[in-house]
Structure 1
Amino acid sequence: MQMFYTVRSGDTLFQIATRWELPVDSLIAANNLLPPYTIYIGGQLSIPPGVTTIRVKEGDTLFKLSQYFGIPQSIIVEENKLQPPYTIQAGDLLNVPPGVPYYTVQPGDTLYQIAKRFNVIVGGYINPEPIRIVNQLQTNVIYPGMKLKIPYTPPFVSGIIAYTSNREDGYDIWLFYPCSGKKVRLTNQLADSFSVPFWSWDLRKIAFVGRNNILYVVHLDDGSVAKIDQFEAELGIFLDWSPNNQKLVYTKNDEIVLYDVTLHQAQRIREPAATDVQWFPNGDELLFQAPDSAGFSQLFRIKTNGLEKRVITRNTEGRLNNVRLSPDGTYALFTTPGASISIIHTVDIATGNTVEVSGGPLGKNYFPEWSPNSLHLAYSANAFEDRGYFSFIRSSGRKGENDRTWAISDCFATPITWSPDSRKIAYLSGCNDQGTAREMWVVDIKHPVPIRLLEDLQITSLQWSPPPNY
């Protein structure tokens, strides 16, 4: 349910957003405010998920915190299950929610107006019915002073999201249809916590590495599952489908493997320490990471017959990780040097010119992915060192321009994925103490209101289907 903050004297949108580390644009979109974005004392604002954890400082009291955040002390007490005399100590971590989980009806309000203001949309249209249902109202009649829960409603989007979850009796690959909320289980105890689904371009097959490090291909037309290969290690195995949807490419035992899933034949190209191999859109060349003759990690391109190998980058520092080729084949991205510090760079394939993306505040930027139109990249940036685990959901242009935050996850880091129309970013949140996500969210970069799509026991990865007829 949406959370609501009551505006106080002196409040501005910027101040309210700053308290919970929110993008101002997200706050504006969540309430459908129009220029000049005026807010009024006593008015209620829907507050998107933000950074709700604070570390208590010397001199802090519940009264001071309630005054700063503009919420009643009772909310902080209830949220943190504090007992009388409600003392707090420097260094304590407290959860400070941005208000209450209900909207108080004002004179003149109608259910339709409330639905319009707070983005209650079904099938692309404003619809007050979810508000009526969740509050068990017999009619659409409401009265001033009523307290209404305001639900999030699924966005009207195309495509299917494949994800990994232990929703039932083990990890499996599932399909989620954002428009309808329908969930379909694809496998039967074949996946593992590290499994990542990889869509074929024709939307008819999904490949993943599952239990016992076995590479599987699921044929969506008939639900059949084929075993393709097996690996010694389960982590960091990247798979990519050929443009004609017939072959998978991956690396194993110092070789690039091109596996024809129809003929069940494998072609191999010897490339020691190669990783992140993937197809150029022409289907005749491959991109991959490997050390050069001096031992420096570089990006290379090579013909699928193993000839005409060419170096793209001029790297003289750390290893290039998480390499991803843009769908149009003109740019690539990578992170470097490792996990504790992870900086994203993009490289122009034609010139080798490399640009650093400014990234999040701690230099810990993970799971970068290109948008289907190749104009943007999105990623998860670890946000804080002393307030618990949170990450910013960010995007930038392919030359690092317009780098900004769209939403906030309460996970240390989260995989992300783009919608087929390149407008929406899906990500994971709802992390528990062990850091495992339980929720899937989406934010529209044209109207950045974070919307929860689903909640499950555990979700470890997700991948939106590519545009049809790509």
Structure 2
Amino acid sequence: MNLTYHEAILFNSNVGGGSYDIWLYQPFTGRTMKLTQNLGAEFSIPYWSPDAQSFTFIGKNNMVFVFNLNSRKWAQIDQIEPYTLLSWSPDSQYLAYVKSNRIVIYNIYAHTSGSIVQYGVTDVQWFPSGEAFLFAAPDEAGNTQLFKINRDGMNKQQITKNTEGPLHNVRISPNGEFALYTSPGASISLITTVNLSTGVSYQLQGGPQAKNYFPEWSPDSSTIAYSATDIVNNQYVSLIQTDSRVGGQQKTWAVSTCFSTPLSWSPDGKRLAYLSGCSNQEQADEIWVIDLNSPNNPIKIVEAKWITSLQWSPQVHDVEPYKLFLNQIYRVSFYYPQNWRKVTEERFEGSDGFFQISAISSEEEIHSVCRAEAFHVLQPYGTNPRIFPALVQAQEACFIFPSEDQPVEMRNQAALIVKYPSPVVIQGSTYSYFILWADQDHLISLVKTLTFI
């Protein structure tokens, strides 16, 4: 079952008074489902990957978890401070976050990481190009500024000239042209936007109490939604407001019964989701949605104690289900599922399969080469693999399929060995055979598009 929705809302809740966990709500069906089991914490905030295949959050014991919606499997990748911003790379392959004065860049498929040392860094996030980061950090005078730096740690540039104190909730716009932040603190919280190419800033009017929280960019980067605290009949409420990125177009759309509430834009930018149902300043137990085209009728979509955060799924653009893999060294190309990610130049993996390529240097005939691979001393295909002779691209070939006692860690690995049309030289050695390993559910479909180049 594929759970990558064009529209879904993730939220953090301890429904029934148990542990906090991440839940999913489907607007089209009205269904909610619990995705994690005893992994969340009260401070957990889910962050969708751009391809809507996965999400990440900081949960129990301050651990960073990544959850794949297709496989329903999760990975635990690091331990960091609660409320640290988690930022996905545009290709959904890397996470960036701050830990111990470092920008950490973590590959969720290879489970490897690198880091950039940056004293006092906060709120790191990717530019849409995937080649640079935006972050906040103190300058030499101790004032917090916005900076841009390449993903290799080079070419650091200061963007702002702030002298007004700390910056919080830094968020880059989806198109990478603007950023926003709140300042100076919690009791007074004003929203400022910055043109990242010019450094020009704009302060938004905000609500009547100057308590503006949880600002969020619209998908088209034109508008900011936020929660503005006010007092009505001696009770704190939260006004659901929007303004243009340069101010001057403030609108109030709805009222939440909470002191403040996180908000989230629908993928099409036409609706806003927010929390409500706070009584006596307790936590929220409702999710509401307001349609900006018919704002007089906000709709309650979820009721569950307690809810602390929410995020609507991102805009996912329809793409071809397959991508072209082309390797000049091994002289091959073929198509693979587009949601698989590169682990190395020779290996790609997804939640539902993998492939890896290599070459074999041998003067033996094809049947001998195939038997040597199939009955390797380590038994990667089990004790009784099956070998099937074949022709691939008019070349002698064979398929190797595993027996039922194949080790589980081999992930259902099967193989194709095919003779090159002419031997290939790699790093000074000559190779006569190409080998493709893949899970047996995908091997045939990969081979059908195999071409020697």
1:2-17 aligned within 5 A: none
- Among 179, 187, 200, the alignment partner of 2:36 is 187
Residue of structure 1 equivalent to 2:314:
466
Please report how far the alpha carbon of residue 179 of structure 1 lies from its aligned counterpart in structure 2 after TM superposition. 2.0
Whether the 8 Å contact between 2:259 and 2:281 is mirrored in structure 1 is: no
Identity of aligned residues (%): 47
**Counterpart amino acid of 1:469?**
H
Residue of structure 2 equivalent to 1:258:
105
**Residues 385, 340 of structure 1: alpha-carbon distance in 2 compared, 3 angstrom cutoff:** farther
- Among 175, 183, 186, the alignment partner of 1:339 is 186
Residue of structure 1 equivalent to 2:303:
455
Report the TM-score, using the length of structure 2 for normalisation. Answer: 0.68
**Counterpart amino acid of 1:300?**
F
State the alpha-carbon separation in 2 of the partners of residues 230 and 163 from structure 1.
Answer: 21
Residue of structure 2 equivalent to 1:423:
270
1:135-146 aligned within 5 A: none
State the alpha-carbon separation in 1 of the partners of residues 269 and 248 from structure 2.
Answer: 17
Higher relative contact order (CA closer than 8 Å, sequence separation 6+): 1
Whether the 8 Å contact between 2:6 and 2:316 is mirrored in structure 1 is: no
| 3-state SS, counterpart of residue 289 of structure 2 | strand
Residue of structure 2 equivalent to 1:249:
96
State the alpha-carbon separation in 2 of the partners of residues 387 and 192 from structure 1.
Answer: 31
State the alpha-carbon separation in 2 of the partners of residues 340 and 179 from structure 1.
Answer: 39
Whether the 8 Å contact between 1:431 and 1:438 is mirrored in structure 2 is: yes
Please report how far the alpha carbon of residue 401 of structure 1 lies from its aligned counterpart in structure 2 after TM superposition. 2.7
Residue of structure 2 equivalent to 1:79:
none
- CA offsets, 1:370-395, max 9 Å, x none? 01111111000001176112010000
State the alpha-carbon separation in 2 of the partners of residues 343 and 397 from structure 1.
Answer: 15
Whether the 8 Å contact between 1:158 and 1:419 is mirrored in structure 2 is: no
Whether the 8 Å contact between 2:67 and 2:73 is mirrored in structure 1 is: yes
**Counterpart amino acid of 1:357?**
L
- CA offsets, 1:140-181, max 9 Å, x none? xxxxxxxxxxxxxxxxx9610000000143110010011211
- CA offsets, 1:254-293, max 9 Å, x none? 0000000011111100011111100000000000000001
Residue of structure 1 equivalent to 2:124:
277
Residue of structure 2 equivalent to 1:313:
160
Residue of structure 1 equivalent to 2:51:
202
Runs of 5+ consecutive residues of structure 1 not aligned to the other structure: 1-156
State the alpha-carbon separation in 2 of the partners of residues 256 and 385 from structure 1.
Answer: 43
Whether the 8 Å contact between 2:136 and 2:145 is mirrored in structure 1 is: yes
Name the structure with the higher strand share.
Answer: 2
**Counterpart amino acid of 1:175?**
L
| 3-state SS, counterpart of residue 133 of structure 2 | strand
State the alpha-carbon separation in 1 of the partners of residues 119 and 279 from structure 2.
Answer: 39
Whether the 8 Å contact between 1:201 and 1:469 is mirrored in structure 2 is: no
**Counterpart amino acid of 1:202?**
D
Whether the 8 Å contact between 1:390 and 1:410 is mirrored in structure 2 is: yes
Is 1:166 the counterpart of 2:5? The answer is no
| 3-state SS, counterpart of residue 351 of structure 1 | coil
Is 1:211 the counterpart of 2:211? The answer is no
Is 1:389 the counterpart of 2:236? The answer is yes
State the alpha-carbon separation in 1 of the partners of residues 248 and 292 from structure 2.
Answer: 15
- CA offsets, 1:292-315, max 9 Å, x none? 011000000000000000011110
Please report how far the alpha carbon of residue 434 of structure 1 lies from its aligned counterpart in structure 2 after TM superposition. 4.2
Residue of structure 1 equivalent to 2:335:
none
Residue of structure 1 equivalent to 2:74:
225
What count of residue pairs does the alignment treat as equivalent? Answer: 312
Whether the 8 Å contact between 2:6 and 2:313 is mirrored in structure 1 is: no
Please report how far the alpha carbon of residue 435 of structure 1 lies from its aligned counterpart in structure 2 after TM superposition. 2.2
State the alpha-carbon separation in 2 of the partners of residues 220 and 158 from structure 1.
Answer: 13
| 3-state SS, counterpart of residue 226 of structure 1 | strand
**Counterpart amino acid of 1:458?**
W
